[in-house]
Chain A
Amino acid sequence: MKYLDEYRDAELVKRLTDQIRQASTQRWVLMDVCGGQTHSLVRNGIEQSLLDTVELIHGPGCPVCVTPVTVIDFAITLSMRPNTIVASFGDMLRVPGSFSSLLDARSKGGQVRIVYSPVDALRIARQLPEKNIVFLAVGFETTAPSTALAVLQASQQGLKNFTVIPAHVRVQPAMELLAQSADNRVQGFLAAGHVCVVNGFASYEKFVHDFKVPVVVTGFEPVDLLEGILECIACLEVKEPKVVNRYGRSVTREGNKAAQELIERVYQTSDRTWRGFGVIPRGGLSLLPEWDKFDAYHVFPTSVPLVAQERSECRGADVMSGKIKPKDCPAFGNRCTPEEPLGAPMVSSEGACAAYYRFDPIRISVNE
């Protein structure tokens, strides 16, 4: 299959793995920012094969994992309202809020639907004019344009029963926060390829200048990831931090102008709480005031105060900032499993804890 097989070639994978070993004079600490990269690295055994050469920290690039508890609580509250349906991506449904998840809400009669795109939620709104359809909009700049498009279409079609919970987040402010924190261990970043498809990589030039760390725009297939790692290590070995685009088949320096325009028409940048991280300055996208009538927070003011209760045992934030590995968390694999997750990184297929749980032989040996 074109664009897949050549990036999963076993020979090439072996050659790149050898090259990475030869190129490294020390064990470098790199962060794969995006959850899709984490999933691929762990699923394909790449992380395991390079353990002696590279320490990979799986960054905060799983949008499900960083969606704050208050957002989930709000969505649950709305799903229990009469004549209201909450629609979201499948991964979002099992994430625990303060007390329960959207899936729990559904088994208690809450109206919750899985959709694959915000435009599907819009279609439900057209089909069921007597219901309020609320789209729980999560994701980075990759999914933000499609939510923007849904809002614009709802406006053009004069729909009065469609709103969104705007929970989109921006990846670069989170990287900046990590890079400038006093206990940062990350020496180089594998930037999230799909976010760069939208944003381009020009904005990383200032990041590299400010923080003196290499940033390599990296794809998701095994060969993509190994090329990204190799390039990053090459920069580190010669002490030459720079931006390199290793996902050239999808990413340009300027990015996708049409998608950027959609984002600009509908959203403004705002400070945003990330689950486990606290408030990240400019870390989110909110709807511009002119779209208030599509903003669920505006349309359904909550009478109940939303007090978030983070389950204290979850150490997801420490995992995503590289302070600990998932296995170092005392709850991992016993009190916290994909069936009964304590925190979001154990839920999503892109969460670091779920990836380790599913693919880690050590964990499975415990159960023997």
Chain B
Amino acid sequence: MSPMNQGEWGMACGIPQGQHGCVTLAHGEGGRVSRALIRDRIIAKLQERSVQLLFDAADVGAFAENIAVTTDSYVVSPIFFAGGDIGSLAVYGTVNDLAMAGATPMFLTLALILEEGFPLETLDRVIDSVARSALECDVKIVAGDTKVVPKGAADGVFINTTGIGRFQQPRMPGSRQITPGDSLIFSASIARHGLAILDARESFGFSPSPATDSGPLHQIAEALRIGLGCELRSMRDATRGGVAAVLHEWAEDCGHAMWIDEAAVPLSASTRGICELLGLDPLFIANEGTFVAAVAPNRCSEALAILHRFSRSREACKVGEVRNRVVSPVVVRRVVGFDQPLDEPLGAMLPRIC
């Protein structure tokens, strides 16, 4: 689920009308336009009937203590790509949303929307993958639904999963409690999922093919939470819009500035090469098993030591810190040494053309 935040939204731009009152693809890209759509057209209408549409998973505590709920839909195309597929993504994505909110994942629901003509053999592969990943994450599938729509009304298979988990005590402070001085950590090398999808979609034929980082984060998140307690301020997986989107959301939540050093950002040589070739900024490219953490400065090295115990986060490193805001909400020190503001992600990745 896209983190939703309506509280401190003050910007007057990006009215989500679409250019002519239609849904456009930009509404689904995770940047300003999608956030405005969620705020103005969804949250605004659901406010009275919703519990707390704010973070990755809601607290339904009024009638059940410490229960975390989240939901997410998966429409990735193609459905199979290097290192993953829509089935595992639908499990890991929702499990990770719970984990990032400081909850232990327990149950999933699984809703499938299938297009008429979708090969059953392919469906089997997808469901096998769901089963394998659910086992790996130690979650049970407790409810499900299947709908079939006429050919052309969907693209193969769409999946929705709702995740239910238990918030652990003490509760993680959350992004509003991020304070100047806190260290910012990226848990792994960034931008792998977006490039894997792009390569699978466009058949660039890079060798080796870029593979997704899609994978479960619940154990890593739990270890960090137990190790650091309330000095782990917040975690968020950097999905659509990449790490840039997370930094912007946090800057808005806490009101301070997120400062990162481009030279410290973990990035594999092959990812970097592809980004340079296509003119893409890896800070804006989606991840599916990589997160950003904000921790108290005196616990940063301990956090890194914990992260380095897990293979999925063995490249974790400190990339920057939270500072008092002067002008820009997110600032990046470019490798040449000048600090520059980092804009919010906007729309689809558009490679330079010359």
Determine, out of B87-95, B158-166, B346-354, the stretch whose residues face the partner at the interface.
B346-354
**Please, which residues of chain B bring their CB within 8 A of the CB of A120?**
202
Taking a contact as CB atoms closer than 8 A, the residue among B18, B269, B341, B353 that contacts A91 in the complex is B353
**Please, which residues of chain B bring their CB within 8 A of the CB of A34?**
354
* Residues 1-58 of B contacting A (Cβ, < 8 Å): 10-14, 18-20, 22-26, 32-33
Question: How far, in angstroms, from A323 to B25 measured CA to CA in the complex?
Answer: 35
Q: Is the CB of A339 within 8 A of B33?
A: yes
User: Is B120's CB within 8 Å of the partner chain A?
Assistant: no
Given that A90-B348, A360-B341 are contacting pairs, would A45 and B273 also be in contact in the complex, using a CB cutoff of 8 Å?
no
Question: How far, in angstroms, from A8 to B334 measured CA to CA in the complex?
Answer: 9
User: Is A44's CB within 8 Å of the partner chain B?
Assistant: yes
Q: Is the CB of A194 within 8 A of B354?
A: yes
Q: Is the CB of A107 within 8 A of B22?
A: yes
In the assembled complex, the CB of A222 is this many whole angstroms from the nearest CB of chain B, namely 5
**Please, which residues of chain B bring their CB within 8 A of the CB of A139?**
353-354
Q: Which of B24, B276, B337 has the most CB of A within 10 A?
A: B337
Contact indicator per residue, chain A 101-116, by CB within 8 Å of chain B (1) or not (0):
1011001100000001
User: Is B336's CB within 8 Å of the partner chain A?
Assistant: yes
**Please, which residues of chain A bring their CB within 8 A of the CB of B13?**
334, 337, 339, 367
Q: Which of B18, B278, B341 has the most CB of A within 10 A?
A: B341
Q: Is the CB of A1 within 8 A of B24?
A: no
Given that A10-B335, A94-B347 are contacting pairs, would A339 and B14 also be in contact in the complex, using a CB cutoff of 8 Å?
yes
User: Is A158's CB within 8 Å of the partner chain B?
Assistant: no
Q: Is the CB of A140 within 8 A of B354?
A: yes
User: Is B136's CB within 8 Å of the partner chain A?
Assistant: no
User: Is B301's CB within 8 Å of the partner chain A?
Assistant: no
**Please, which residues of chain A bring their CB within 8 A of the CB of B227?**
none
**Please, which residues of chain B bring their CB within 8 A of the CB of A8?**
335-336
**Please, which residues of chain A bring their CB within 8 A of the CB of B10?**
367
Question: How far, in angstroms, from A104 to B32 measured CA to CA in the complex?
Answer: 18
Across chains A and B, which 6 residue pairs bring their CB atoms closest together, nearest first? A45-B338, A90-B350, A10-B337, A89-B353, A358-B343, A13-B336
Q: Is the CB of B347 within 8 A of A339?
A: yes
Q: Which residues of B contact A (CB under 8 A)?
A: 10-14, 18-20, 22-26, 32-33, 202, 204, 269, 272-273, 276, 278-279, 325, 327-329, 334-341, 343, 346-354
User: Is A43's CB within 8 Å of the partner chain B?
Assistant: yes
Taking a contact as CB atoms closer than 8 A, the residue among B202, B336, B339, B351 that contacts A222 in the complex is B336
**Please, which residues of chain B bring their CB within 8 A of the CB of A93?**
350
User: Is A290's CB within 8 Å of the partner chain B?
Assistant: no
Taking a contact as CB atoms closer than 8 A, the residue among A13, A138, A340, A364 that contacts B353 in the complex is A138
Question: How far, in angstroms, from A364 to B351 measured CA to CA in the complex?
Answer: 24
**Please, which residues of chain A bring their CB within 8 A of the CB of B327?**
361-362, 364-365, 368
Q: Is the CB of B347 within 8 A of A46?
A: no
User: Is A268's CB within 8 Å of the partner chain B?
Assistant: no
Question: How far, in angstroms, from A104 to B18 measured CA to CA in the complex?
Answer: 9
* Residues 331-365 of A contacting B (Cβ, < 8 Å): 334, 337-340, 348-350, 357-362, 364-365
In the assembled complex, the CB of B17 is this many whole angstroms from the nearest CB of chain A, namely 9
Given that A349-B352, A359-B343 are contacting pairs, would A13 and B337 also be in contact in the complex, using a CB cutoff of 8 Å?
yes
In the assembled complex, the CB of A153 is this many whole angstroms from the nearest CB of chain B, namely 17
Question: How far, in angstroms, from A13 to B338 measured CA to CA in the complex?
Answer: 10
Q: Is the CB of B279 within 8 A of A364?
A: no
Q: Is the CB of B328 within 8 A of A364?
A: yes
User: Is A49's CB within 8 Å of the partner chain B?
Assistant: yes
Q: Is the CB of B353 within 8 A of A337?
A: no
B263 closest partner in A (C-beta): A10
Taking a contact as CB atoms closer than 8 A, the residue among A103, A339, A359 that contacts B346 in the complex is A339
Taking a contact as CB atoms closer than 8 A, the residue among A49, A222, A357 that contacts B343 in the complex is A357
Listed A/B pairs (9) with beta-carbon separation below 8 Å: A46-B336, A48-B338, A100-B20, A104-B19, A116-B204, A337-B13, A361-B341, A364-B341, A364-B343
Given that A8-B335, A91-B350 are contacting pairs, would A101 and B19 also be in contact in the complex, using a CB cutoff of 8 Å?
yes
Given contacts A92-B353, A107-B18, 19 further A-B contacts (CB under 8 A): A1-B276, A8-B335, A44-B338, A45-B336, A48-B338, A90-B353, A103-B19, A104-B24, A107-B20, A120-B202, A139-B353, A143-B353, A337-B14, A338-B346, A359-B340, A361-B340, A361-B341, A367-B10, A367-B13
Question: How far, in angstroms, from A367 to B339 measured CA to CA in the complex?
Answer: 19
User: Is A326's CB within 8 Å of the partner chain B?
Assistant: no
Taking a contact as CB atoms closer than 8 A, the residue among B20, B347, B352 that contacts A350 in the complex is B352
**Please, which residues of chain B bring their CB within 8 A of the CB of A46?**
336, 338
**Please, which residues of chain B bring their CB within 8 A of the CB of A365?**
327-328
Question: How far, in angstroms, from A143 to B346 measured CA to CA in the complex?
Answer: 26
**Please, which residues of chain B bring their CB within 8 A of the CB of A338?**
346-347
User: Is A14's CB within 8 Å of the partner chain B?
Assistant: yes
Question: How far, in angstroms, from A349 to B269 measured CA to CA in the complex?
Answer: 24
In the assembled complex, the CB of B193 is this many whole angstroms from the nearest CB of chain A, namely 19
Q: Is the CB of B20 within 8 A of A89?
A: no
A7 closest partner in B (C-beta): B336
Q: Is the CB of A339 within 8 A of B26?
A: yes
User: Is A200's CB within 8 Å of the partner chain B?
Assistant: no
Question: How far, in angstroms, from A1 to B282 measured CA to CA in the complex?
Answer: 15
**Please, which residues of chain A bring their CB within 8 A of the CB of B11?**
367
B325 closest partner in A (C-beta): A368
Q: Is the CB of A364 within 8 A of B329?
A: yes
B14 closest partner in A (C-beta): A339
User: Is A121's CB within 8 Å of the partner chain B?
Assistant: no
**Please, which residues of chain B bring their CB within 8 A of the CB of A357?**
343
Given that A107-B22, A337-B14 are contacting pairs, would A44 and B353 also be in contact in the complex, using a CB cutoff of 8 Å?
no
Given that A108-B22, A338-B346, A340-B19 are contacting pairs, would A43 and B354 also be in contact in the complex, using a CB cutoff of 8 Å?
no
Given that A1-B272, A358-B343, A365-B327 are contacting pairs, would A63 and B353 also be in contact in the complex, using a CB cutoff of 8 Å?
yes
A4 closest partner in B (C-beta): B276
Q: Which of B23, B33, B329, B353 has the most CB of A within 10 A?
A: B353
**Please, which residues of chain B bring their CB within 8 A of the CB of A101?**
19
**Please, which residues of chain A bring their CB within 8 A of the CB of B25?**
103, 107
Taking a contact as CB atoms closer than 8 A, the residue among A194, A222, A340, A349 that contacts B350 in the complex is A349
User: Is A36's CB within 8 Å of the partner chain B?
Assistant: yes
Q: Is the CB of A36 within 8 A of B352?
A: yes
